[in-house]
Amino acid sequence: MLQGPHGPFFRQLAAQLDAGGHQVWRVGFNRGDEVFWRRSRYFAFSAAQTEWPSTCAELLSRLKITDLVLYGDTRPIHAEAIRLARQRGLRIHVFEEGYLRPYWVTYERDGSNGNSALMAASVASIRQALDDPGQDTPPPPGHWGDMRAHMFYGALYHFCVMAMNRRYPEFRPHRDISVVQEFRLHLRRLLLRPLHRLERYMASARIKWGGFAFHTVLLQLEHDASFRAHSDFTSGEEFIELCLSAFAKGGDPEHHLVFKAHPLEDGRLDIKRAVRDGAARHGLSRRVHFVRGGKLAPLLNRTLSAVTVNSTAGQQVLWRGLPLRIFGRAVYGKPEFVSAQPLADFFAAPSPPDPDGYRAFRQFLLETSQLPGSYYSEHGRKRLLALIVRRMLSAESSYAALEKATGADEQQLAVAE
């Protein structure tokens, strides 16, 4: 095991694997990793990151590792470990936040998000892989879920790294800012919560009672792995400017544009100012709105369409049958679901998704990689742990049926050609 979600999930997962007779080792890179482990078979990696490839290779060989378990596959230490594991033919288990969050988490083999096997899957192969197409599936929740537990474990983790990290002098976070800076941002956000709540209430009221039709832009964390690794943007400001310029060019003069911030936005980018200043440059100040966090459902229940880079919130848009335009690589980025129109044309007359195709896609996710539960709350972890060990020990991945269906599609295509 390498780095996991903040909190005790990896420790509890290791205990269940141990109970089944499997030997579990953990590599920790900072004091936060160590504090949440509190088990034997722990290797503290305290050298410079340039030493990680050789250290990782030595550990894989010396300990006769058969499986690599990690949370997120794009941070440099994980990407290097995955490369070495693939050379040795090891099974790679990747955990991520749920594609259908917040009441599900993602578990896949080999890669997630833009590295997922779903990226190459056609809607036809997904339909073919379903055992019982057309089943009713639960609606997507309109809020994050487990927010307080998530924030608590995140704050505790960063405190350990900031105040107790003497054993790991060479540790460098995979973020662009230091742990101290990140802690200050979280503290500032916590202190400003009452003010932000009032601001959000007022902005939501203006939208609700304004009597205007609007399109919604779903913003993401600028430092999020999906944004950084699976899109071509270098900053959130680039995406904001793209949306504003396209809306100025193609948006109906009677329509408005709403920017919805991510619930965990910490203020390292002053999004409100970026939206306000950009709207002023394009002469849109009276038709552009900013909502800081909060529940998404009230906006999606009234919006005309949505735009995002590759946020998982796009799945809530598609579930409602709303037009969606994305600008990054996402597992749901199928031509049947997301529009390929130039953004100005999309704002003028957005093309809708194929609702039946998306329902099949969502059903497939819930039957395979989406597991009910949570990494952060005690109840959510118990629910998840009751399911995940058997899934991890299975010889076949949850996408095995999809791989067979994809192979059948390719064979039929070859025959047709």
In CATH, what number is assigned to the domain containing residue 287?
A: 3.40.50
Chain mean pLDDT for the chain: 90
Same domain, 254 and 280: yes
Same domain, 353 and 374: no
Same domain, 116 and 217: no
Same domain, 26 and 127: yes
Predicted confidence band of residue 177 (pLDDT cuts 50, 70, 90): low
Q: Check residues 177 and 104 and name the one with the higher pLDDT.
A: 104
Distance CA 373, CA 380 (A): 4
Highest mean predicted confidence (pLDDT) among 157-171, 211-225, 340-354, 364-378: 340-354
Same domain, 46 and 122: yes
The pLDDT of residue 327 is above 80: yes
Tell me the two tokens of residue 197: 């709540």
DSSP at 184: H
Distance CA 81, CA 124 (A): 34
Same domain, 205 and 354: yes
Boundary-marking domain end, from 342, 360, 378? 360
With respect to residue 394, please indicate whether it lies within any of the assigned structural domains: yes
Highest mean predicted confidence (pLDDT) among 12-26, 100-114, 159-173: 12-26
Same domain, 249 and 345: yes
DSSP string of 122-146, one letter each residue: -HHHHHHH-SSTT---PPPPSS--S
Same domain, 276 and 399: no
With respect to residue 187, please indicate whether it lies within any of the assigned structural domains: no
pLDDT of residue 191: 74
With respect to residue 116, please indicate whether it lies within any of the assigned structural domains: yes
Question: Residue 93's Cα: distance from chain center in Å?
Answer: 16
Same domain, 197 and 269: yes
272-298 pLDDT, tens per residue?
Answer: 999 999 999 999 999 999 999 888 889
343-364 pLDDT, tens per residue?
Answer: 999 999 999 999 999 999 999 9
With respect to residue 169, please indicate whether it lies within any of the assigned structural domains: no
Same domain, 338 and 375: no
With respect to residue 163, please indicate whether it lies within any of the assigned structural domains: no
Q: What is the mean pLDDT of residues 74-94?
A: 97
With respect to residue 158, please indicate whether it lies within any of the assigned structural domains: no
Predicted confidence band of residue 406 (pLDDT cuts 50, 70, 90): low
Boundary-marking domain end, from 338, 360, 382? 360
**Domain around 258:** 192-360
With respect to residue 179, please indicate whether it lies within any of the assigned structural domains: no
**How many distinct structural domains can be found in the chain?**
2
Same domain, 222 and 306: yes
What does pTM read for this prediction?
A: 0.86
Give the 3-state secondary structure of residue 176: coil
Same domain, 199 and 103: no
Boundary-marking domain end, from 360, 391, 406? 360
* Alpha helices (H) in 88-214, listed in sequence order: 123-129, 147-163, 179-191, 193-209
22-66 pLDDT, tens per residue?
Answer: 999 999 999 999 999 999 999 999 999 999 999 999 999 999 999
With respect to residue 209, please indicate whether it lies within any of the assigned structural domains: yes
